Structure 1
């Protein structure tokens, strides 16, 4: 299977070396260049084909976010930073993932596999083997078109949906389905018991087990993050379903 070319950008030498060491252990990743600042990285991106950028955010002269904003048709970006407050802006710019330092091998592996899966899907879509979705009006189910044909899914069986850039991954109890529809377009077509809880996640309210301060546990041991911005809307919907001491 093909490898994907990577660029590492970080102004901290120790962090750069650690990221390089971890990424060299991951199959299908080829480190094409390592840069110590955003300006140097911008030069590499102008002259080389890069598939995935692993970038720090807080760097002098040109930040990681500034680097992403400066690129037309940017490659996949995975941000690695000590400052979690940058996460919302990073996701708004369609960064694929956001890792808080210190980055462990397990966390980098998870982000890398997500990027590889996304790039594989994108390549597959270019070869006309993409999956799409279709919703019969008023029905309690919908269809997705996969390479093997059409698959019917019941809304009630969907646990959550994860964004993968131009694609979305639909999780049920016994399977995962990837379709060439972005999360924003899916959200417009879902019933009211689905709610956006994060830039990258939509959940089925009927699949919630518990809601914590920063994450939600769903049925079948699934856990997704909940953002500060979306939590008030989530809690309002939950409150509307809560049994009260006093009936209205």
Structure 2
């Protein structure tokens, strides 16, 4: 379990991060602060793994706060101004989230922290102990309307683009989400999913057959786009077709 706090002087921004944290099983929100000085006082007494830290705050900025802390927890900066990005990375923070923060981008940042802490655990603990720090995360949450849907990677048959929306197709559901292919590709394991067309991503293990430029997945015929043929052929070569 990764313990974390949020520090932001904007109540709405705190609410968004808190809601996102609640959906991630390996995150535990210990406390939220709208005052950086109070957060510093807390961190001098308590050990925390991760801080979601706003940069622009009154009294003490996020960058000033980070310079005070010793030792430093993992830090994910949150801000409405991209001009601070370079300075954030110079301070060796794990990631930098630009407001308004999408859930998919939040997940990507949190995964970086998760992977980093797991690597540290691998070098510090026995294999039995490491399993506590390194749970298998085989699903994600996606927003559809006003609801967050839990989607297991191994349930996805294919993803289809429909205008500004993506349709995630599983045997049990069709989930429409206002999302881009670029955004969804960032959270999909690249060894299990492949883009085969400007309008389609398929799950490799769900491919039933291939004939010419068409892929069959669960009775759905999906075209292979010209610009995606090479990468798809490379995938087939790895699967050692005989």
User: So what's the TM-score if we normalise by structure 2?
Assistant: 0.52
State the partner residue of 1:194.
none
Q: Deviations along 1:126-164, whole A, 9 cap, x unmatched?
A: 2388xxxxxxxxxxxxxxxxxxxxxxxxxxxxxxxxxxx
- Deviation beyond 6 Å, 4+ runs, structure 1: none
124 and 63 in structure 1: CA distance in 2 versus 1, 3 angstrom threshold: same
State the partner residue of 1:44.
42
State the partner residue of 1:65.
63
Does the residue aligned with 1:124 lie in a helix, a strand or coil?
helix
Q: Distance in 2 between matches of 1:7 and 1:41?
A: 9
Shift of 1:38: 1.2
State the partner residue of 1:86.
84
95 and 220 in structure 1: CA distance in 2 versus 1, 3 angstrom threshold: farther
State the partner residue of 1:20.
18
Native 8 Å contact 1:5 1:52 kept in 2: yes
85 and 125 in structure 1: CA distance in 2 versus 1, 3 angstrom threshold: same
Give the alignment of 1:177-192 within 5 angstroms. none
Q: Does 2:29 align with 1:31?
A: yes
Shift of 1:108: 0.8
Q: Distance in 2 between matches of 1:115 and 1:100?
A: 17
Shift of 1:73: 1.6
107 and 125 in structure 1: CA distance in 2 versus 1, 3 angstrom threshold: same
Q: Distance in 2 between matches of 1:111 and 1:220?
A: 27
Does the residue aligned with 1:72 lie in a helix, a strand or coil?
coil
Native 8 Å contact 1:4 1:29 kept in 2: yes
Within the candidate set 97, 105, 108, 1:99 is matched to 97
| CA RMSD, 1 decimal | 2.2
State the partner residue of 1:8.
6
Q: Does 2:115 align with 1:114?
A: no
The alignment covers a number of residue pairs equal to: 133
Q: Distance in 2 between matches of 1:101 and 1:88?
A: 16
Q: Distance in 2 between matches of 1:120 and 1:37?
A: 30
State the partner residue of 2:182.
none
Q: Distance in 1 between matches of 2:125 and 2:12?
A: 41
Native 8 Å contact 1:33 1:44 kept in 2: no
Q: Distance in 2 between matches of 1:126 and 1:44?
A: 27
Native 8 Å contact 1:81 1:100 kept in 2: yes
Does the residue aligned with 1:47 lie in a helix, a strand or coil?
coil
State the partner residue of 1:123.
121
Note the residue ranges of structure 2 that are not aligned, 5 or more in a row: 128-189, 192-229, 233-242
